[in-house]
């Protein structure tokens, strides 16, 4: 099956893609393009899936760069391919080196691709609620500027992630956000039984725009479309033992 790749005109002309799960070699609960080496999927299937992504991005497999994601605000700046054993613990990566494809893995959290095409600087970030609240998006922008990007020339696009309609949270979660800024209440709606619905992409769009960059969301919800996307939360609700990871990539 052909790989399915979501793109954004806002990132043109740079080659990029938010890959769905369609077109991969994995089977069972991972059926499709599972690119997560941290999953319990067969390692050969994951390697084949990542090789297919590299081919689609027109790079060698070792030039498809990922980091060891830990829900932090840390950013790695790289200028050469990284072996799996050398992946830094970080949740975003930036480069000004042509030929490198920066990749982020997600399954409800936000994959955010950044570009200043004029300066030749790109970035990719994994932004769950914790990373977004702790500043991973702003840190990625700062790291790009350190490589020569201009703040007012950076575009950021949020890819498929969980939408507000499907992101139910409790009082403790709400209070974490209100402790930082009472105005964060705008990103929560009342749910059922004293619960709330959190707007993760809306929160991040507001953070990105406040940071002075052009920001967009593709509008795709990972939870709502099991045929196209893996979802950590959906896998928990369905009692599955594990879940696949989507990959999102940008290159110079």
Domain 5-163+199-251 falls under CATH 1.10.10.10: no
Residue 84's pLDDT is 80
Average pLDDT of adjacent 10-residue blocks, the chain of 252 residues? 94 97 96 95 96 96 94 96 88 97 98 98 98 98 98 98 98 96 96 95 98 98 98 96 97 96
- 3-state SS, the chain, equals CCCCEECCHHHCCCCEEEECCCCCCECHHHCECCCCCCCCCCHHHHHHHHHHHHHHCCCCHHHEECCECCCCCCEEECCCCCCHHHCCECCEEEECCCCCEEEEEECCCEEEEEEECCCCEEEEEEECHHHHHHCHHHHHHHHHHHCCCCHHHCEEEECCECCHHHCEECHHHHHHHHHHCHHHHHHEEECCCCCEEECHHHHHHHHHHHCCCEEEECCCECCCCCCCCCCHHHHHHCCCCCCCCEEEEEEC
């Amino acid at each position: 099956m052909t790989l399915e790749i979501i793109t954004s005109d806002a990132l043109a002309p740079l080659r990029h893609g938010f890959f769905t799960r369609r077109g991969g070699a994995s089977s069972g609960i991972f059926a499709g393009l599972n690119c997560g080496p941290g999953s319990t999927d067969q390692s050969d299937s994951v390697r084949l899936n990542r090789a297919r992504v590299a081919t689609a991005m027109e790079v060698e497999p070792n030039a498809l760069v990922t980091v060891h994601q830990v829900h932090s605000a840390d950013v790695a700046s790289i200028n050469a391919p990284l072996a799996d054993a050398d992946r830094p613990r970080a949740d975003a990566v930036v480069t000004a080196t042509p030929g490198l494809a920066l990749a982020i893995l997600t399954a409800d959290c936000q994959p955010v691709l950044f570009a200043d095409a004029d300066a030749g600087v790109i970035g990719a970030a994994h932004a769950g609620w914790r990373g977004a609240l702790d500043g991973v998006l702003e840190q990625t922008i700062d790291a790009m500027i350190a490589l020569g990007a201009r703040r007012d020339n950076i575009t950021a696009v949020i890819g498929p992630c969980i939408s507000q309609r499907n992101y139910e949270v409790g009082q403790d979660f709400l209070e974490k956000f209100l402790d930082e800024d009472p105005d964060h209440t705008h990103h929560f709606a009342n749910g059922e039984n004293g619960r709330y619905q959190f707007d993760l992409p809306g929160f991040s769009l507001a953070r990105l725009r406040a940071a002075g960059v052009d920001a967009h969301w593709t509008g795709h919800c990972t939870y709502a479309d099991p045929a196209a996307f893996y979802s950590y939360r959906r896998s928990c609700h369905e009692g599955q033992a594990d879940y696949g990871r989507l990959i999102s990539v940008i290159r110079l």
